[in-house]
Amino acid sequence: MWWFLKATLGSLLWVVYRPKVDGLEHVPDDGPAILASNHLAVTDSFFMPLVLTRRVTFIAKEEYFTGTGFKGWFVRTFMNAVGAIPVDRAGGDAANVSLDTGKRILTEGRLFGIYPEGTRSPDGRLYRGKTGVARLALQTGAPVVPVAMLNTGELQPIGRRIPRIGRVRIKFGPPLDFHRYSGLVGDRFIERAVTDEVMDALRELTGQDYVDEYAANVKARQQKKEQ
């Protein structure tokens, strides 16, 4: 089903949005790798897999799999077809479930996609990364490939369901190798240093302004003001 959707819906998206891709050679042809991307729009999880020749698996919030009616069925079917894995982000062990899933995907020699910021940027800036990406890299030894989604936030700003027509731009950076920290899983200082190195690579790749704060905290404040 994944390859069928890539050949059908993927071909349509190629024609309509004409992705411009740089650095695709940095994604390994085989073996595990973590694709760590900034996150500007819901469609980031559609356009990144579209330009890859290998299949990539993402974590998706559980709400995408529990909708009702035709829309709920369509979203659920699509997410299942592209190999997205549901996680209840409200649960106390949600982070561990996500990391365990990522570890399994990587030990199988596959590509695992992750958004280190943990959520979409509320304003187009790059926010502090969570250390899950570091833990995965240290546990599995998989390289981290930084991925810059450059203009998806302009094509699909928050609140817009269908992205505007325009050329999507994506850039892959050189893989980051963290074997020098082998055996240091669980050291919070090392995990923070690895995460910050990933975020620095994303900042250079995207050109976004960096904010040393979690995006989720910014969103929480915004929602509180709106209430």
What is the rounded average pLDDT for all residues in the chain? 89
What pLDDT does 22 receive? Answer: 97
Mean pLDDT of 21-50: 94
7: confidence class by pLDDT, cuts 50, 70, 90: confident
> What pLDDT, on the 0 to 100 scale, is given for residue 88?
65
Q: pTM for this one?
A: 0.90
- Residue pair 6/50 in contact (Cβ under 8 Å)? The answer is yes
pLDDT of 29 higher than 80: yes
Please compute the mean of the pLDDT values over residues 200-219 and round it to a whole number.
96
Domain containing 84 equals 1-226
Reported confidence tier of residue 106, pLDDT bands at 50, 70, 90: very high
Q: What is the CATH number of the domain that holds 200?
A: 3.40.1130.10
Output 109 or 227, whichever has higher pLDDT. 109
pLDDT value at residue 9: 78
- Give the pLDDT band of residue 96 (cuts 50, 70, 90): confident
Could you say which DSSP state residue 81 is in?
H
> Per-residue confidence at 93, pLDDT binned at 50, 70, 90?
low
Q: Which long-range contacts (CB under 8 A, 24 or more apart) does 81-84 make?
A: 81/1, 81/2, 81/4, 81/5, 82/2, 82/5, 82/49, 83/2, 83/55, 83/57, 83/58, 84/45, 84/57, 84/58, 84/59, 84/60
Model pLDDT, residue 6: 78
pLDDT of residue 63: 76
Q: Calculate mean pLDDT across residues 69-96.
A: 70
Does residue 62 carry a pLDDT above 90?
Answer: no
Q: What is the pLDDT of residue 227?
A: 67
Q: How many domains does the chain have?
A: 1
Give 60's strand partners: 86
DSSP state letter for 67: -
Lowest mean pLDDT among 108-112, 158-162, 173-177: 158-162
In percent, the amount of the chain with pLDDT more than 70 equals 94
Task: Please state the three-class secondary structure of 140-195 as a single string.
Answer: HCCCEEEEEECCHHHHCCCCCCCCCCCCCEEEECCCECCHHHCCCCCCHHHHHHHH
Residue 150: phi, psi to the nearest 5?
A: -90, -30
- For the segment 114-141, the average pLDDT, to the nearest whole number, is 95
Asked if 172 and 146 touch (Cβ cutoff 8 Å), the reply is yes
Judge whether 185 and 140 are in contact, CB under 8 Å. Answer: no
What percent of the chain has a predicted confidence (pLDDT) above 90? 59
Report d(CA 134, CA 212) in Å as an integer: 17
